[in-house]
Amino acid sequence: MNYNNLRFLLNKRPKGMPEDDCWALNSEIISDLHNGEVLIKTEYLSIDPYMRGKMNDGLSYTPPLKIGEVMVG
């Protein structure tokens, strides 16, 4: 069975306040799960200040995301 996984990717680094084009919604097909894997449906997301720091390309307490990487929370 195939599953459609929607994910937000960092599309560009914001200058000032982030705008909609800083992210790209991406669809990924996940095929059959392997032995020991589970599929979890996300129902709620938390938007935290930590995420904004990950979007910057500078020194921080956490490494920055690369352009095209999945937005983490």
pLDDT per residue as tens digits for the range 15-61: 999 999 999 999 999 988 999 999 998 899 888 888 999 999 988 88
Q: State how far the Cα of 41 lies from the Cα of 48, in Å rounded to an integer.
A: 20
CB 67 within 8 A of CB 12: yes
Q: What is the 3-state secondary structure (H, E, C) of 26-44?
A: EEEEECCCCCCCCCCCCCC
Task: Please compute Rg for the chain using Cα positions.
Answer: 15
For residue 58, the 8-state DSSP code is S
Please tell me the predicted confidence (pLDDT) of residue 60: 84
Both structure tokens of 8 = 């937000």
